[in-house]
Amino acid sequence: MEVVLKKWTMDDKHILKNICNNVDRQFLSNRMPFPYTEKNANWWLNMVQESEGKRGIFRAIVVDKEYVGNISVEVKDDVYIKDAEIGYLLLSKTWSKGIMTEAVNQICNIAFSQLDIVRITGLVYKPNVASQRVLEKNGFALEGIMKNAVFKKNNIYDLCLYGKYK
């Protein structure tokens, strides 16, 4: 199994739309629209083209030539400018195969080499143990837990704060 991170292009809007409409959203932010439309994909891919290498690193996750997810590291603003937040999603049919662990490893290496940052932050809902393990396997340290920090689908979750340092 080969895990490759590919830069997104404007030609990938239908691939992105398909992934975003078929991913499990239980532990994702509500800022990703549903249904995810071609207009949403165009907006996001335009932002990626403008921001790539400056404000973040944005990649499609491709396994054996099949697009299965998305991963990014985005630089924060203001006094947090040396910190970037990692975010990722993966189609559920590919879970528990080590794909995201490898994708996180690759994107952290890219981000630390190309962005002017000293740390990467990962935020994970406490029940999402699989995502916590992905970060821990990649050297992220649990720095704290924000109690009752997330409200999603009538549930309140604690939020685990992870950090990885250059």
Proportion of the chain above pLDDT 70, given as a percent: 100
Residue 125 lies in a domain: no
Residue 17 lies in a domain: yes
Confidence of residue 139 (pLDDT cuts 50, 70, 90): very high
pLDDT given for residue 32 in this prediction = 93
Residue 152 lies in a domain: no
Helix axes 99-114, 129-137, angle to 10 degrees: 50
| C-alpha torsion 48→61→74→27, nearest 10 | 120
Residue 146 lies in a domain: no
Confidence of residue 117 (pLDDT cuts 50, 70, 90): very high
Residue 161 lies in a domain: no
pLDDT in tens, 19-71: 999 999 999 999 999 999 999 999 999 999 999 999 999 999 999 999 999 99
Residue 41 belongs to domain with CATH number: 3.40.630.30
Evaluate whether 115 touches 108 at the Cβ level (below 8 Å). no
Q: From its phi and psi, is residue 53 left (phi > 0), alpha (psi between -120 and 50) or beta?
A: left
Proportion of the chain above pLDDT 90, given as a percent: 99
pLDDT given for residue 142 in this prediction = 98
pLDDT given for residue 46 in this prediction = 97
pLDDT given for residue 11 in this prediction = 96
pLDDT given for residue 128 in this prediction = 97
Strands (E), 29-140: 56-63, 66-75, 83-90, 119-125
Residue 66 lies in a domain: yes
pLDDT in tens, 81-97: 999 999 999 999 999 99
Alpha helices in 52-162 (DSSP H): 99-114, 129-137
Residue 165 lies in a domain: no
* Domain of residue 46, residue span: 3-117
Residue 163 lies in a domain: no
Q: Please tell me the distance from the alpha carbon of residue 1 to that of residue 164, in angstroms, as a whole number.
A: 26
Say how many domains are in the chain. 1
